[in-house]
Structure 1
Amino acid sequence: MGGRPFDVPIPEEPKAPFPIITEYCDIVCGFGRGSTDLGIPTANVEIEEVPPRMNLLDLGVYFGFAHLEKVDKELTHVNRKDGQKVAYNYGSHLTEENGDLDILPMVLSIGRNPFYGNDFKTIELHILHDFTDNFYGAKVKFNILGHIRQELDYTTKEALIRDINIDIEIARSTLLKKSYLKYKEELRC
């Protein structure tokens, strides 16, 4: 899988500066484009909540593991930047039976999303799991174990979706390797 001219070679095991691990970060709503526009939902976290060395990484697509945690709060609503009202359920629909609270593989984007013309940096995780509902307001702890590719500007949404799906497969197959799989345990602490 992969083999695109812009792919970063992935070593047999994480190499410096990886792994990078966060504490639990709040999941906030973004623009909703991952779910509605691309069909690839993301969990956004605030840049201020991640370790400073994560902000030194090149803009691009990375991979690792993520662990979600529910927050004991009542349902609230916030207005997204586009004015749409979004429900913050704080992960109340996450269940152990569905595997939602397992440590799960993920890909993440650190970037400005040039296809959408953003002029600010975001961190968006796509957790490789089928969730039954959103989990805005929940918390996520994650590690970054490697770099897949640089951030690119796309001319079509279809090309962007195609590359994201390749990124997902690269992450999935790499994270199954024993030398990467062992880093799941970092998130149990």
Structure 2
Amino acid sequence: MNFVLLLESIVLIVLYMTSTRPFDKPIPKSPASPYPIVTDFCDIVSGFGRGSAELGIPTANIPIDQIPTAAKDLEQGVYFGFARIQPIGKEERTEPRENHRDVEYNYGKYLEESNGDFDVLPVVFSIGSNPFYHNKHRTLEIHVIHKFKRDFYGAKLKFNILGYIRPELDYISADALITDINKDIIIAKRVLETDEYKKFMQVLS
């Protein structure tokens, strides 16, 4: 394993193991109602661009109107599950973003099978208005726990929702937000590696 990746993993594990959070919700040994919730293939659209640029945690934004009603009715907060990305055969285009940084819609053209980009992958995601950034609308932002070489705006993503980690919170700093997201990632990975959750990968294959 690359030394930097190893160091990152150790830091994340220490963050998770050395502190408990009073707002974390108990996670059952296997998904309980209303889970699992499974989506169709949804569009990956551009958001505000803050996940990568400001937090170092890239997210895929999914239109709320494309997810099942059961998912729309969920409490605002952080969830986990699995996802699979599908490229779309469309011509590349560029779209301006509100922050004046252009977004390249390549529709997943640069995803690589050899890099595991098409595998069923673990995800952690938020549903809510993200009070730290004062969003006006409810959004769904998915962090795929995987190292991609390129962005993949315009591709499709199908995912399942298997459980709930914690409610949506406000933060006094970006550092505090980043710390909690990294803990969310560790929790999601730990749960999704168990046999009772891992078997839900096949729903997306």
Residues in 2 aligned to 1:96 and 1:84: alpha-carbon distance in whole angstroms: 29
**Aligned residue for 2:91?**
74
Cα deviations by residue, 1:58-106 (Å, 9 ceiling, x for unpaired): 0000000000000001110111233321100000111110000000000
Pairing 1:85–2:102 present: yes
Structure 1, unmatched stretches of 5+, are none
- 1:95 maps to which of 98, 112, 121: 112
Higher mean Cα deviation, 2-11 or 101-110?
2-11
**Aligned residue for 1:168?**
185
Residues in 2 aligned to 1:79 and 1:121: alpha-carbon distance in whole angstroms: 21
- After TM superposition, the structure 1 = structure 2 runs for residues 1-189 of structure 1, keeping only pairs within 5 Å, are 1=16, 3-188=20-205
Structure 2, unmatched stretches of 5+, are 1-15
TM-score by length of 2: 0.90
Residues in 2 aligned to 1:62 and 1:77: alpha-carbon distance in whole angstroms: 31
Task: In structure 2, give the amino acid aligned to 1:25.
Answer: C
Residues in 2 aligned to 1:143 and 1:103: alpha-carbon distance in whole angstroms: 11
Residues in 2 aligned to 1:21 and 1:80: alpha-carbon distance in whole angstroms: 30
Q: Give the C-alpha shift of residue 125 in structure 1.
A: 0.4
Cα deviations by residue, 1:107-160 (Å, 9 ceiling, x for unpaired): 010010100011210000000000001000000000000000000000011110
Residues in 2 aligned to 1:179 and 1:81: alpha-carbon distance in whole angstroms: 42
Q: Give the C-alpha shift of residue 3 in structure 1.
A: 3.0
TM-score by length of 1: 0.98
Residues in 1 aligned to 2:150 and 2:144: alpha-carbon distance in whole angstroms: 13
Greater share of strand = 1
Task: In structure 2, give the amino acid aligned to 1:134.
Answer: D
Higher mean Cα deviation, 107-116 or 1-10?
1-10
What percent of counterpart residues are identical?
53
After the TM superposition, list the runs of 4 or more consecutive aligned residues in structure 1 that deviate by more than 2 angstroms.
Answer: 81-84
Q: How many residues matched?
A: 188
Structural RMSD (CA): 0.9
